[in-house]
Amino acid sequence: MSMKGTTSWWLQRVSGILLLVFVGIHFVDVHFVIGVENLSFERVAQKWNLVGWRIFDACTLGLGMLHGCNGVISVLDDFKALRPHRKKWLAGVRILGISVTLLGAWVLITFQPEII
């Protein structure tokens, strides 16, 4: 296994474990602390007034996109039929991943419930 492959492999495992922890916290918060029946725009706005929750959601978003894009890149690396167009596919996955992450971060940073 090459150094790149080893790094990618470890990154996938570590991000997966961290995602399990983050999604577990999210699940407990939404389903047991807040309660799905009480979930509303106002409740999310109240939660996002705390910087800690915004950081938590940003980390979850970043880790999720990193984990997903790394997984797609691993699959593309193994798919031999795409070898002639490999660089284009990898660039597309990276651009899409960065774009979605930046869009999500922008929403987290600029969210102001009093405007709506």
Domain count, the chain: 1
Distance (Å) of CA 33 to CA 16, 19, 52, 73, 78:
24, 20, 16, 37, 42
Nearest partner of 64 among 108, 100, 111, 107, judged by Cα? 100
Written in H, E and C, the secondary structure of 77-104 is HHCHHHHHHHHHHHHHHHHHHHHHHHHH
With cut-offs at 50, 70 and 90, classify the pLDDT of residue 78. Answer: confident
Alpha-carbon distance 39 to 32, whole Å?
A: 11
Domain that holds residue 20: 3-115
Distance CA 99, CA 77 (A): 22
> What's the pTM value of the predicted model, to 2 decimals?
0.84
Which pLDDT belongs to residue 1?
A: 53
The answer to whether 76 and 86 have CB atoms below 8 angstroms apart is: yes
Could you read off the pLDDT of 8-65 as tens digits, one per residue? Answer: 999 999 999 999 999 999 999 999 998 889 889 999 899 999 999 999 999 999 999 9
CATH assignment at residue 37 = 1.20.1300
Beta carbons within 8 Å of 68's beta carbon, 6+ residues apart: 97
